[in-house]
Chain A
Amino acid sequence: MNQPRPATRSRRLARWVDDRLGTAYLATKALRKVFPDHWSFMLGELSLYSFVILVVTGVYLTFFFDPSQAESTYRGSYEAMRGVEMTAAYRSALELSFDVRAGLVMRQIHHWAALLFVATMAVHMARVFFTGAFRRPREINWMVGVTLLILAVFNGFAGYSLLDDQLSGTGLRIGYSIALSVPLVGTWLVSLLFGGEFPGPDIIERLYVIHILLVPAVIAALIGVHMAILLRQKHTQFAGPGRAEGNVVGERVWPTYAAKGLGLFFLTTAVLAALGGLAQINPIWIYGPFDPAEVSAASQPDWYMGWLDGAMRLIPPWEVRAFGYEVPNPFFPGAVLPGVTFALLYLWPFLEARFTGDRSEHHLLDRPRDRPVRTAMGVATIAFYGVLFLAGGGDVLSTTFGVSVNAVFQAFRVLLFVLPAASAWVAYRLCRDLAQRDPAPADDGSVAMTALAGVAEDGRDQDDRAGHDGPEAQGQAVGKHH
């Protein structure tokens, strides 16, 4: 009667793995972590889930996509392209859209997921920025995040450049002229990537390897680093009753937070499936195969490249000579602007620490209203890039509203500086008023001492920040067997 319960098969398997790898220690440690509960802390997960969907749908696409610039003729079921000469890359993308089972919905989900991958990253980044979560000791994770953003934008561009339709060719031509415009190394850069004069014989095959292997692998690895640093440093939290610099109050990862995460994953999948099934994206059969002789005026890149495109359209036709070299015009919007943008993003935590003189550790978040200067600068930045993005669609706006393109671009040149300034001023005033009406709650220092109890005053789960995860967690961690 007193026999131990027979171990189930899965338990035995788990123990077998654990005996050899000691995984239970790590797993329990991670699962027992307390994750603070504020809705905005789940935004980063949206990007993670979009990436998962990107990989799954992307793998499906690789089964059918042929990244080759060889001459080829379409003979599939889309009548308006039958018999037309094109590259194998474009032909296989057409076949994916019309002749491969579930090919089109996979393509569309993949592309929508790419748009949402970058968009949710931007939202997540805004959360981190406006709450000051990038401050010491989290500067490294902030920089990992900026790298992920750059990689995602670049991989999206590489992705839609593969299909060799008129839009991708137009985008690549701009990419080519930007690369070529870089002083000194431009020509070398271009021959490395394109293998010769535009369009070049090798570009699609090279981009393909970059797009499906290189960049996704680096992204996956960096997501791992991002999460590992997060686990190690523990999540920040907002100040409030029972919450202090020295503790983390919220829910344990297992089971509560994991269930929420799984639910969010399903919802992300549902939204992407709905978009992919109901809304057409990148209808390459309308754009036609890329023909270098054709220049279509009204072609836009995906939104996350739109700000660069807008800058290319707004820049006055400056000619600059430096050290005897002619610096080509695309260099400023195409290379200097993103260079400065990402350099400022990388450096922001350090710049801010320098300006405020605040170099201490922070685990409690700021309310945006309590940091009016930072908030105003963030709002101004969003306005600046928002105007650039809209300028990228200037000619679409001009036709839609029946205004002359030149007037639209002149207006955008003014807005580019006026709107950020105005919105910064409004944001600053709002912060001031809000903070006055509702002063910030202080660090609840009184509770820090109770951290080891594992339960916060309001009955929530709690960890301390000294590296201990509460008594149960320790107990489990020591005992390797159940």
Chain B
Amino acid sequence: MSKKAVIFGATSLIAEHTARLLAAEGWELVLVGRNRQALQAVASNLRLMGCAPVHELLGDAADMSALPQLVDSAHQLLGRFDLALIAWGSFYPNPDARQIQEMERINHTAATALAELLGEALAQQRGGTLAVLSSVAGDVLRPANFFYGSTKAALDADLRKLRLKLAPRGVRVLTIKPGRVETPMTAFAPRSFLTATPAATAAGIRRALQGRRDVVYVPGWLRAAFFVLRLLPKWLVSRLRF
């Protein structure tokens, strides 16, 4: 029987490339996104790449009251989740108050609320993986992405809590921390040789899904890099330009 995954924020380029790998392996997918046309293109492509059904669900991270209903619909379509992936995210480089609020809501509040709902669904079926796209930005708060980083740091903390709660019930909670990836989200910033492609990041995520870690860095060397960055004194970090 084919494996099944639900993906929230399926129009995210990182999520889409991850879904391509899953579709090619024969996974059945439910894609949740807010932009109908974009979602359709993503889904049509996945249908041709794979052989199992690909379903579309229209839903917006910003509308938190609709989340339980979305999780229910996805569950009805698939019957069971081997994987639930939360990929949506919002980034503003020099945010005003409203933008800070939006990042907080999308990256943290809504993501955590959804993670709890999905975690419960997985626990009830006694197993499965809940994977959430966080970011290295939460590890060390640098001036370049201070506010974004703090929303991801809060998300990381919530996921740790959730992991403790769900581990005894057989659910794996996987926190994924990519570095800079070339997607619409980062199109405002210059690319460098360190910028990863969505395809390479997806390959890293696919490997991580098979592994056993709770927190993965993509690419893997970022773990060591951020370990060192965390040891730096605050005054030095506050001068970092990246």
Chain A partners chain B: no
